[in-house]
Structure formats: structure tokens, C-alpha cells
Amino acid sequence: MRFNKAMKGMAIAAVAAFTISAIGEAEARTRLKIHSAYGRSVFVIGPGPYHVAEAMEKMSGGEVRMQIYEPGALVPGTKYYDPVSSGSIDGAWGTPGFNVHKNFAYAFFASVPFGPRGGEYLAWMRHGGGQELAEEMYSRDNIKFFVCNIIPPESSGWFREPIESVEDLQGLKMRFFGLGAKVMEKFGVSTQLLAGGDIYPALELGSIDATEFSMPAIDRDLGFYQIAKHNYFPGWHQQSTIGELLVNMDKYNALSEPHQAMLDQACQAQTLRGFAEGEAGQAEAMKFHQEKGVTIHRWSDETLAEFEEAWLEVIEEEIEASEDAQRIWQSYSEFRDTYAIWREHGYLD
């Protein structure tokens, strides 16, 4: 009888110890719910957060796991800033240009019209002061910012009819991104920022007349070629585009120092992956579009000059209206001025 009681006591103790151990192990693991602004099937930018999540799980030995949620599962595609700030979601994958409704100066961390190629842009962000400025701005709203992707040049528009001059832009309704939208508005274009998945239906229904979104391989996945048969280059408004991973600051601070370092390294790895994969995929996509009856155009030098002149007007207006824009533009311009001797002598035209 005493033996049975002893055995029962040992069993209860073992179960209790196992339960406590399991609870402790569960508490030791970190689970992060991450919203993505792009569907997983979208070339490069869609799989990106999944690559980061996989890297984090492997590097941390399973201690940090990121659950990626498709657009709309937690919040609407581009509307993630406030939920990350408040902590209602742990983080989000997108681009700083989606956050212009909070502060238009964020657009400078996404892409700059007539701006640098990917290498120069990353050099400014990581070694010229850009990232520090971005981190300071995001931290005001309790957000940790990471550069976590960069993609090569985009096309500058899909149109139903050819654009013979800037006068043909007058009155068009067009999806356009970031600082480039301000330039298009100078030519009488009514712009709006739509998430990727919302563009095709808007084109199909006639809610918009034209669109730009991304590089050819991504535009192919979204099917613009089925409606608009005139695709224009170069992407003067986005010669390169930075992607972000945002993490609620409280959630980030709760990570151990090694896990914080792993997250930084996972984003650095994804930035390289995104850039190389982006460069590799565009020629095939452009040929695909031609096979589908798309005419690929290059803007004339005269038209590009008109766009650039309008851009110079826009930037004067932006830096006059925003202290943040002034600080960013000063840092960006000083870096580009210093970098110019290398740009002009180190590379073939």
C-alpha cells in the first residue's frame, strides 16, 4: 500500500516536473506574428519574409519563430504602421514608401526619383547616415526599423495607349508610388497608392487608367499586360527600392542580444538575395511581355528632362514643408556629392 502511494507520488511529481519544464520551454521560445504587404507568390518581395523567418528559426535553434501572414489576414496590405506601433501585431514586411500617410519623409528611405542605383543607395543607408535617420524617425512611434530588401529598377508605367508627350498624361488616374507620385501630379495626373493585389481589379474596372508597381517580373505576376499594352522605361522614379522589416520596439527589446543580432543578419542576407534575384529575373519577364503583345517603350531624353525638372520642383517643396525631409535630403545629397567621384570614374556609363 505504501509502495503504491509512493509510486503515485512519484508519478504526480514527474508529471508536474514535465509540465513545468514544458511551460518553461514554451516561454523560452519567441513567437512573432509578421504581416506581409505582398502575397507569397509575388516574385522576390513575396517570399522575402519567409526567407527571413526560415533563417531566424535555423540560427536560433527554433527559439525564435516568425509566423508570416498574407495581406489582409491581420491588417490590410499597406496599412501596417499603426498596428506595429501599438503592438497589435509584432511586425510587418513592406517598404517605407507605404508609410507616407504618417510622415511623407519616409518616402526618401524607399526610393528617390532620379536617384541612385542599389549599391549607392545601400551605401548611404548603411554607411552614410540614412539608416540612423530612419531608425530615429521610426523609434518615435515605438518601431524598430530594418533595411531588409532592395530591388533593381522598376518600369515607370503601364498605359492603355502610347504616351507621345507629357500632355498625354493630363487627366489620367494612375496608381503611383512615393515621391514619384508628386512628380506625376505636376503633369495633371491624379495619383493614388494601391496595394499590389488591388491594382489589377482597379485597372479592369476603370477605376484607374494606368499604373506602375514594380520591376517587370513582379508586374508579370500581377497580370498588367492583359489590360495595358504599353510599358515604359526607365523607372526614373525608382532606380532602386528598399524593403523594410518593422518590429514593435517592445517586442524587439524583449529579444536577447544574440537574437537581435540574428535578425539583423537575416535581413542583411535577404537584402543581398533580393537584389541578386531581382537582377536575374527581368530579361525573361520583358520577353514574356513582348510575346503577349506588349510594346516596350523608352522615354525620350526630352520627356525624362521634363520629369526631372518637375522633380526638382517637388524636392524644393518637400524640404520647405518638412524638417525631417530637410535633414534627410541634406544627408542624402552630401553623401551623393562625396560619392560622385567614384560613380563617375569607377563605372562604365
Cell representation of residue 170: 493630363
Q: In whole angstroms, what is the distance from residue 44 CA to residue 213 CA?
A: 14
Out of 1.10.10.1100, 3.40.190.10, 3.40.50.1010, 3.50.50.60, select the CATH number for domain 157-238+285-346: 3.40.190.10
Q: What is the pLDDT of residue 178?
A: 84
Closest CA relative to residue 294, chosen from 186, 160, 180, 202: 160
Q: In whole angstroms, what is the distance from residue 305 CA to residue 220 CA?
A: 28
Q: In whole angstroms, what is the distance from residue 130 CA to residue 191 CA?
A: 27
Those residues whose C-beta lies under 8 Å from the C-beta of residue 178, and which sit 6 or more positions away, are 97, 100, 107, 110, 111, 237, 238
- In this prediction, residues 324-344 reach a mean pLDDT of 96
Distances (CA, A) of 203 to 1, 3, 98, 210, 212: 81, 79, 20, 7, 11
pLDDT interval class at 4 (50, 70, 90): low
Does pLDDT of 255 surpass 90? yes
pLDDT interval class at 348 (50, 70, 90): confident
pLDDT interval class at 117 (50, 70, 90): very high
Does pLDDT of 257 surpass 80? yes
Q: What is the pLDDT of residue 195?
A: 85
- The pLDDT tens digits of the residues spanning 124-148 come to 999 999 999 999 999 999 999 999 9
Q: What is the pLDDT of residue 22?
A: 40
Q: In whole angstroms, what is the distance from residue 266 CA to residue 289 CA?
A: 33
State the Cα torsion 120-132-148-233 to the nearest 10°: -40
- According to DSSP, the β-strands at 241-248 and 210-211 are unpaired
Those residues whose C-beta lies under 8 Å from the C-beta of residue 155, and which sit 6 or more positions away, are 212, 214, 215, 216, 219, 231, 232, 233, 235
Give the class (CATH, top level) of 30-153+239-280: alpha beta
Q: In whole angstroms, what is the distance from residue 76 CA to residue 183 CA?
A: 27
Cell representation of residue 280: 536575374
Whats the size of the chain, residue-wise? Answer: 349
- In this prediction, residues 186-200 reach a mean pLDDT of 92
Q: In whole angstroms, what is the distance from residue 129 CA to residue 151 CA?
A: 20
Neighbours of 13 (CB within 10 A): 10
Q: What is the pLDDT of residue 15?
A: 43
Domain locations in the chain? 30-153+239-280, 157-238+285-346
| Percentage above 70 pLDDT, the chain | 92
- Is 157-238+285-346 in the same CATH topology as 30-153+239-280? yes
- The pLDDT tens digits of the residues spanning 8-39 come to 554 444 444 444 344 344 445 899 999 999 99
- According to DSSP, the β-strands at 241-248 and 143-151 are antiparallel
Q: What is the pLDDT of residue 20?
A: 37
- In this prediction, residues 149-157 reach a mean pLDDT of 95
| Mean pLDDT, rounded, of the chain | 92
Cell representation of residue 168: 498625354
Q: What is the pLDDT of residue 291?
A: 98
* End-to-end Cα separation, the chain, in angstroms: 92
Element (H, E) at 132: helix 130-139
Does pLDDT of 3 surpass 70? no
- Local structure of residue 226 (DSSP, 8 states): G
- Strand positions, DSSP E, 98-229: 143-151, 157-159, 173-175, 190-192, 210-211
